[in-house]
């Protein structure tokens, strides 16, 4: 790191709060394994309606939206259509139910993603739509070594004011003994699920506007449009270089598909790690350890001592040993296990003719404040890398020659790299207000859960930031000139002393 960039980092740490403001956003997160059933309006009201305080963002994560039969899991055009249709039905019933309760303010669907039985939707109160931007979606299959979508994750990325926020809905591997498979699902999702930089996507789709939710079909069309634009740019460049040259061969349409590496390799992508706030929900499928049988679990629950079972909760054990969810937080689990019930009832399924699953807290919500802005330059990593290399090279040239113009430092925006340094303090915060299971509804063998949060995000005064950067840049230049004058004066005195 050059002395100038270090100077900017240090000074910005002192002055950045002059242009960083904060906003508090109320967020409701809901997760439910619905066992391939549809809810009633009453079910939705019981689950996601907060009667005491209206959340500004509602995120709903659904698992087993369609039956996870072998035919559906392997996938086909019919299954994709069924998944899409069910996702639309779920979003329609949730949106219509919520908006029927309040005529003065409405929720808008701003993002929807689905994959086989998984679905995530984000709804926002119309009053905060101006705070939301750069909305994009992603998914990752983890079933059968990543080939099947019966397990995996769907996610939504967005900017809330100037904070990058991600919501992840997942369904991990089942069965009591498969703890390591669940751990591996987590590792794959947090490291491999990617989002495309949506700066261009927003311009093409207008997707961040009210009433225009981002959905999977939009992203596919956007990628096709981006590829077409890139081909036209390449053709123009080739023509400018050699007017007589043949234009480049267009990429065949078959290569431009959702998830196509041809497209993704040309677009900036980022992972779940690259966010200021992470919310993670879903049927994580962690069970109780095998030293607890169904009768011991049911006795503890009926005696009002379900909290004793948490000592045997696989998720708690794995998290405490730093195997998974490092730096994630979860509220106090003060509700009974959410699995496994007799569908249509509030009774745990202990029928001898059934599989006698031990009750467990399969369904969970966790969150993490991102790794902060003092890590590597992630959001514009390649651009910053090249800019830094040019900057360092120019600084070295100027140090050797003393000629700023010859070094390429005149007429360039030399503060561009400094602008991208992640030096601002972390101001994001999440406060959990409530974390609970909901009963009823009773239609599934899982009970739905929800968490109500206050989320603090950053809002930058970009004009003030620009003024601050220019002021620091000017102060640096003055200090450099003073240092040069001081050095010349010192040299002159030394030379005079030696001569005399």
DSSP string over 134-176: EEEEEEEEEETTTTEEEEEEEEEEEEETTEEEEEEEEE---ST
Q: Which range is least confidently modeled, 145-159, 198-212, 290-304, 419-433?
A: 198-212
Residue 104 pLDDT grade (very low, low, confident, very high; cuts 50, 70, 90): confident
Q: What angle do CA 194, 152, 309 make, to 5 degrees?
A: 125
Q: What angle do CA 33, 39, 40 make, to 5 degrees?
A: 155
- Amino acid 53: pLDDT: 82
The pLDDT > 70 percentage for the chain reads 64
Beta-carbon count within 10 A of 94 CB: 24
Indicate the helix (H) or strand (E) that contains 302: helix 294-302
Tokens of 374: 């003092």
- Give the closest residue to 392 by CA, choosing from 373, 418, 424, 374: 418
- Does the pLDDT value for residue 443 go beyond 60? yes
Residue with the bigger pLDDT between 9 and 458: it is: 458
Average pLDDT over residues 225-238: 53
Q: Rounded distance, CA 44 to CA 42, Å?
A: 5
Q: Starting at the earlier edge strand, list the strands of the sheet with 20-33.
A: 107-115, 118-125, 57-63, 20-33, 449-460, 429-437
- Does the pLDDT value for residue 257 go beyond 50? no
Tokens of 480: 């450099």
- Amino acid 391: pLDDT: 58
Q: Which range is least confidently modeled, 133-147, 308-322, 335-349?
A: 133-147
Mean pLDDT of the chain: 79
Q: Is 26 helix (H, G, I), strand (E, B) or coil?
A: strand
From residue 99, alpha-carbon distances to 1, 120, 174, 212 in Å are: 53, 19, 36, 17
Q: Rounded distance, CA 397 to CA 413, Å?
A: 17
- Does the pLDDT value for residue 203 go beyond 70? no
pLDDT in tens, 125-182: 999 999 999 999 999 999 865 556 789 999 999 999 999 999 999 999 999 999 999 9
- Does the pLDDT value for residue 441 go beyond 70? yes
- Does the pLDDT value for residue 14 go beyond 70? no
**Cα 155 from chain centroid?**
7
Side-chain half-sphere CA neighbours of 349 within 13 A: 18
- Give the closest residue to 134 by CA, choosing from 162, 170, 169: 162
Average pLDDT over residues 92-115: 93
Query: Which region, left, alpha or beta, applies to residue 139 given φ > 0 means left and ψ of -120 to 50 means alpha?
Result: beta
- Does the pLDDT value for residue 458 go beyond 70? yes
Contact (Cβ atoms closer than 8 angstroms) between residue 487 and residue 481: no
Q: CB neighbours of 45 closer than 8 A, spacing ≥ 6?
A: 97, 101
- Amino acid 416: pLDDT: 42
Q: Rounded distance, CA 350 to CA 241, Å?
A: 75
Contact (Cβ atoms closer than 8 angstroms) between residue 315 and residue 364: yes
Could you say which DSSP state residue 118 is in?
A: E
Q: Which range is least confidently modeled, 39-48, 109-118, 178-187, 467-476?
A: 467-476
Dihedral angle, C-alpha 149, 59, 182, 295, nearest 10 °: -110
Indicate the helix (H) or strand (E) that contains 84: helix 77-99
- Does the pLDDT value for residue 428 go beyond 60? yes
- Amino acid 72: pLDDT: 61
- Amino acid 252: pLDDT: 39
Contact (Cβ atoms closer than 8 angstroms) between residue 141 and residue 159: no
Average pLDDT over residues 209-221: 53
Residue 34 pLDDT grade (very low, low, confident, very high; cuts 50, 70, 90): very high
Average pLDDT over residues 402-408: 55
- Does the pLDDT value for residue 361 go beyond 90? yes
- Does the pLDDT value for residue 423 go beyond 90? no
Average pLDDT over residues 388-412: 57
- Does the pLDDT value for residue 57 go beyond 60? yes
- Amino acid 398: pLDDT: 59
Q: Starting at the earlier edge strand, list the strands of the sheet with 163-171.
A: 132-143, 148-160, 163-171, 277-283, 363-369
Q: Which residue has the tokens 């169904």?
A: 294
Q: CB neighbours of 381 closer than 8 A, spacing ≥ 6?
A: 268
Contact (Cβ atoms closer than 8 angstroms) between residue 139 and residue 115: yes
Q: CB neighbours of 35 closer than 8 A, spacing ≥ 6?
A: 64, 343, 443, 444, 445, 446
- Amino acid 18: pLDDT: 79
Contact (Cβ atoms closer than 8 angstroms) between residue 174 and residue 340: no
Tokens of 115: 């994959």
Q: CB neighbours of 322 closer than 8 A, spacing ≥ 6?
A: none
Q: What values do phi and psi take at 188, rounded to 5?
A: -65, -45
Q: Which range is least confidently modeled, 12-21, 186-195, 363-372, 394-403?
A: 394-403
Residue 325 pLDDT grade (very low, low, confident, very high; cuts 50, 70, 90): very high
Q: Rounded distance, CA 151 to CA 140, Å?
A: 9
Q: Rounded distance, CA 170 to CA 119, Å?
A: 9
- Amino acid 134: pLDDT: 93
- Does the pLDDT value for residue 375 go beyond 50? no
Show the DSSP H helices in 329-461 as ranges: 381-401, 416-419
Cis peptide bond prior to 440, omega within 30° of 0: yes
Q: Which residue has the tokens 């925006």?
A: 413
């Amino acid at each position: 790191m050059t002395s100038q960039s270090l100077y900017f980092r240090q000074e910005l740490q002192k002055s950045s709060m002059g242009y960083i403001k904060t906003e508090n956003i109320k967020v409701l997160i809901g997760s439910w394994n619905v066992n391939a059933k549809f809810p009633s309006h009453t079910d939705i009201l019981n689950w996601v309606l907060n009667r005491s305080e209206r959340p500004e963002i509602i995120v709903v994560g659904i698992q087993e939206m369609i039956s996870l039969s072998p035919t559906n899991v392997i996938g086909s055009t019919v299954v994709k259509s069924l998944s899409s249709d069910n996702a639309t039905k779920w979003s329609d019933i949730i949106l219509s139910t919520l908006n029927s309760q309040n005529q003065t303010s409405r929720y808008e669907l701003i993002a929807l993603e689905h994959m086989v039985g998984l679905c995530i939707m984000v709804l926002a109160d119309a009053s905060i739509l101006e705070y939301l931007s750069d909305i994009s979606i992603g998914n990752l299959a983890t079933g059968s070594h990543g080939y099947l979508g019966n397990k995996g994750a769907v996610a939504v990325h967005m900017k809330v004011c100037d904070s990058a926020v991600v919501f992840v809905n997942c369904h991990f591997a089942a069965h009591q003994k498969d703890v390591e498979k669940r751990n591996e699902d987590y590792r794959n999702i947090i490291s491999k699920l990617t989002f495309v930089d949506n700066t261009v996507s927003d311009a093409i789709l207008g997707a961040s506007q009210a009433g225009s939710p981002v959905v999977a079909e939009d992203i596919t069309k956007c990628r096709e449009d981006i590829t077409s634009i890139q081909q036209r740019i390449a053709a123009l460049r080739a023509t400018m270089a050699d007017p007589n040259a043949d234009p480049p061969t267009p990429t065949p349409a078959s290569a431009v598909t959702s998830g196509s590496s041809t497209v993704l390799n040309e677009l900036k992508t980022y992972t779940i790690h690259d966010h200021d706030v992470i919310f993670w929900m879903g049927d994580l499928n962690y069970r109780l350890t095998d030293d607890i049988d169904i009768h011991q679990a049911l006795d503890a629950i009926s005696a009002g001592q379900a909290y004793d079972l948490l000592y045997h909760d696989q998720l708690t054990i794995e998290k405490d040993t730093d195997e998974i969810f490092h730096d994630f937080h979860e509220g106090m689990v003060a509700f009974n296990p959410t699995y496994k019930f007799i569908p249509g009832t509030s009774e745990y399924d202990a029928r001898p003719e059934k599989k006698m699953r031990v009750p467990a807290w399969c369904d969970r919500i966790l969150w993490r404040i991102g790794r902060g802005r003092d890590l590597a330059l992630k959001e514009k990593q390649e651009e910053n890398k090249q800019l830094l290399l040019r900057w360092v090279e120019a600084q070295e040239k100027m140090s050797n020659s003393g000629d700023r113009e010859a070094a390429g430092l005149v007429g360039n925006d030399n503060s561009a790299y400094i602008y991208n340094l992640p030096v601002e303090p972390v101001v994001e915060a999440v406060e959990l207000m409530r974390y609970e299971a909901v009963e009823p509804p009773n239609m599934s063998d899982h009970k739905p859960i929800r968490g109500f949060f206050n989320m603090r995000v950053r809002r930058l005064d970009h004009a003030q930031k620009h003024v601050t950067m220019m002021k620091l840049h000017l102060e640096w230049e003055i200090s450099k000139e003073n240092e040069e004058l001081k050095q010349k004066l010192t040299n002159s005195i030394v030379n005079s002393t030696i001569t005399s």
